[in-house]
Amino acid sequence: MSFSFKKWRSFITESKLRVFDFDDTLVKSQSKIKVIRPDGSTDYLTSGEYATRGEEPENEYDFSEFEKVVDPQEIEKVTNILRNVVNAGSDGREVVILTARRPVSEDAIKEYLEEIGIDTSGITFVLLGDASPLAKSDWIEDKIKTGATDVLFLDDSGKNVDAVLDLKHQYPDIKIDARQVKYAEELQQESAPKSVDPEILEMIKEYVGLPIRAMYLHENDIILAQLEEYHDPKTMGDIHTYWDQSNQLNKLKDLGYNVRLVSRNAPIKEPNTPLTKDLL
């Protein structure tokens, strides 16, 4: 009978690592990344869109909304797994929330998890401030090097999951189970379409103060107000600068509506739900 001291040692010192992503894995929130283009126009990305597209060097990116958890929806199929793991105790097991968010978000994440009944006292929070797939796989590799022998990783990003699965080639004796979870997409599909009160649409027309051709509900629950006139990029940049700093927009945001102005010649692509018929 062959005897492997290395395998025997790893067995008696088994160390389980249970790693959960946060956004779109445990919770679907309305936190968005603001994109500021060189011409002054702005756009908003979800965490999933940002992970897929990455950054374009000519743009600026504002992550301030990710300092909090905005309008969260619990993804129960994954939070229930987290509850079971936490309730199983910490003997030989480390439970980790591993997120691309910045460290400033830690208190908001803990507060949310406590609100939904998850005890965070035994959870390690690692906020990388880095959306690169290698950031997560490098962190997990460091844990393997310091003794983790059984790794479970749950994340909505296929790129992150693939990066962790690649560690299997380097560490064939380590149990690595990395799974992509897409339950946030189910929540999106189950959510009823958001309706907008006609009085709000009239308020938008009044507040904008420029002729509006039509309005659309964007996939990120942003109302696109398509202006009647054609405007060149410089003019639209000036309009965006004024509008983004205006009291009128702040009043609409206080009511739960974020309005983005676009020129008549801006393409309106799916998925965008018409809120008004063409005003012509």
Based on the fold, state whether residues 272 and 172 are members of the same structural domain. Answer: no
Based on the fold, state whether residues 184 and 196 are members of the same structural domain. Answer: no
Assess if residue 62 is contained within a domain: no
Least confident of 15-19, 66-70, 111-115, 162-166: 66-70
Based on the fold, state whether residues 184 and 79 are members of the same structural domain. Answer: yes
Q: If you average pLDDT over residues 158-169, what whole number do you get?
A: 96
For residue range 111-124, what is the model confidence (pLDDT) as tens digits?
999 999 999 999 99
Task: Give residue 278's pLDDT band: very low, low, confident or very high (50, 70, 90).
Answer: very low
Domain of residue 78 covers 14-29+69-189
Based on the fold, state whether residues 181 and 209 are members of the same structural domain. Answer: no
Based on the fold, state whether residues 217 and 150 are members of the same structural domain. Answer: no
Please check the confidence at residue 2 and state whether its pLDDT lies above 90: no
pLDDT of residue 12: 44
pLDDT of residue 47: 78
Residue 101: phi and psi, rounded to 5, are: -60, 160
Q: Which among 158, 189, 220 is the end of a domain?
A: 189
Q: If you average pLDDT over residues 5-13, what whole number do you get?
A: 45
pLDDT of residue 218: 74
> How many structural domains is the chain composed of?
2
Please check the confidence at residue 71 and state whether its pLDDT lies above 80: yes
Nearest CA among 216, 192, 196 for reference residue 276? 216
Assess if residue 275 is contained within a domain: yes
Contact criterion met (CB below 8 Å) for 16 and 88? no
Task: Give residue 256's pLDDT band: very low, low, confident or very high (50, 70, 90).
Answer: confident
Contact criterion met (CB below 8 Å) for 249 and 243? yes
Q: If you average pLDDT over residues 76-100, what whole number do you get?
A: 90
Please check the confidence at residue 280 and state whether its pLDDT lies above 50: no
Assess if residue 257 is contained within a domain: yes
Assess if residue 1 is contained within a domain: no
Please check the confidence at residue 250 and state whether its pLDDT lies above 60: yes
Q: If you average pLDDT over residues 227-232, what whole number do you get?
A: 89
Q: List the strands of the sheet with 16-20, edge to edge.
A: 123-127, 93-99, 16-20, 150-155, 175-180
Q: What is the CATH number of the domain that holds 117?
A: 3.40.50.1000
Global pTM value: 0.63
Assess if residue 9 is contained within a domain: no
Least confident of 140-144, 247-251, 265-269, 274-278: 274-278
58 or 194, which is more confident? 58
pLDDT of residue 219: 62
Assess if residue 142 is contained within a domain: yes
